[in-house]
Amino acid sequence: MTDRYAVFGNPIGHSQSPRIHSLFAAQTGQDMSYQAILAEKEGFVAAVSAFIAAGKGPARGANVTVPFKAEAFRLATRRTPRAEAAGAVNTLSFDNGAISGDNTDGAGLVRDLKHNLGCDPAGRRILLLGAGGAARGVILPLLLENPAELVIANRTEETAARLALEFARLPGCAVGAKPDGTGFGGLAGRQFDLVINATSAGLSGAVLPLPTSVFAPRCVAYEMVYGRATPFMQQAGAAGARVADGLGMLVEQAAEAFFIWRGVRPHTAQVLAALNERA
Ligand code: ATR
């Protein structure tokens, strides 16, 4: 019987995950189905239960996207350290009533940087913009790559300071740089080799008040949003940075989930190329 998987979100109509996972499954010869499920805002747990209960083959796992990642975290009966650090779960595995929760977003970002963009975070001065869920999800994986420094800058300075302190205290963060938190005003005169936009500003078209000087020569500017040219991408490009959007992270976080579920690592390059062709 075919193993069943799904992605839960609200909205979910534009999710690329079913396409990505069916390409992975075809490439690796895995017998599985993957569907997108729109859960009611108050109905996430019920939707997951219904998915597990109904259907022809066994339900093996699920991806979780906005706005349910915190709820998925609570639903999981056990969680990986990176999910604990993120405070959010995007990958669930079902096994005889147990629900395991993981978070593959940070690993997806790191893999996209290292393998697709040739930008190893090790030894780099990293600036992470934003202090919400998207930023939180990538901090531990970035720190574990041993950057020279990691500065978290946020519109609300206090949130960045709190987040930095929390991660500086985390036992797993004893390696590499301790993160630092600041407001955008604290960036004047500072330079970075990798600038990652984890704010949601791009979705509303808002311009971030970034000094041009933050983009060091040969800087890579990474926008977590994909499918549109955001003001951050335009700013960074104008300052001479090499610009990437979050499509690679989307594919790589999916590949990491696929690996957790199936024990096989799909080749992402051809899937990324197929998605780019469509964009
Ligand atoms: P997500 O899960 O996408 O991270 P979130 O938790 O709501 O969403 O966080 C949104 C992030 O984008 C926050 O860091 C937010 O800054 P504040 O903490 O000051 O609210 C940031 N953000 C959103 N719109 C912004 C804008 N126009 N300018 C600067 N930062 C913005």
| Residue range 158-201, pLDDT digits in tens | 999 999 999 998 876 655 678 999 999 999 999 999 999 999 99
Q: Please, where in the chain does CATH 3.40.50.10860 lie?
A: 3-103
List pLDDT tens digits, range 130-162.
999 999 999 999 999 999 999 999 999 999 999
What is the reported pLDDT for 8? 98
Q: What is the pLDDT of residue 148?
A: 94
Q: Decide: 206 in ligand 1 pocket, CB within 6 A.
A: yes
- 199 touches ligand 1 (CB under 6 Å): yes
Clarify whether 69 is annotated catalytic. yes
pTM: 0.96
Does the CB atom of residue 230 touch ligand 1 within 6 A?
A: no
Confidence band, pLDDT 50/70/90 cuts, at residue 43: very high
Instruction: Report the topology of domain 106-248.
Output: Rossmann fold (3.40.50)
Q: State which of 200, 223, 225 you would mutate to test the pocket of ligand 1, scoring each by most atoms of that ligand within 8 A of its C-beta.
A: 200
Neighbours of 206 (CB within 10 A): 14
Q: 199, 203, 204, 235: which to mutate for ligand 1, most atoms within 8 A of CB? A: 199
Contact by Cβ (8 Å): 12, 259: no
The closest alpha carbon to 103, from 253, 263, 255, belongs to: 253
CA nearest ligand 1 atom 7, residue: 132
Q: For 258, which DSSP code?
A: H
What is the band of 122 on the pLDDT scale with cuts at 50, 70, 90? very high
Give yes or no for residue 133 CB within 6 A of ligand 1.
yes
Chain region(s) in the chain for CATH 3.40.50.720: 106-248
CATH class of 3-103: alpha beta
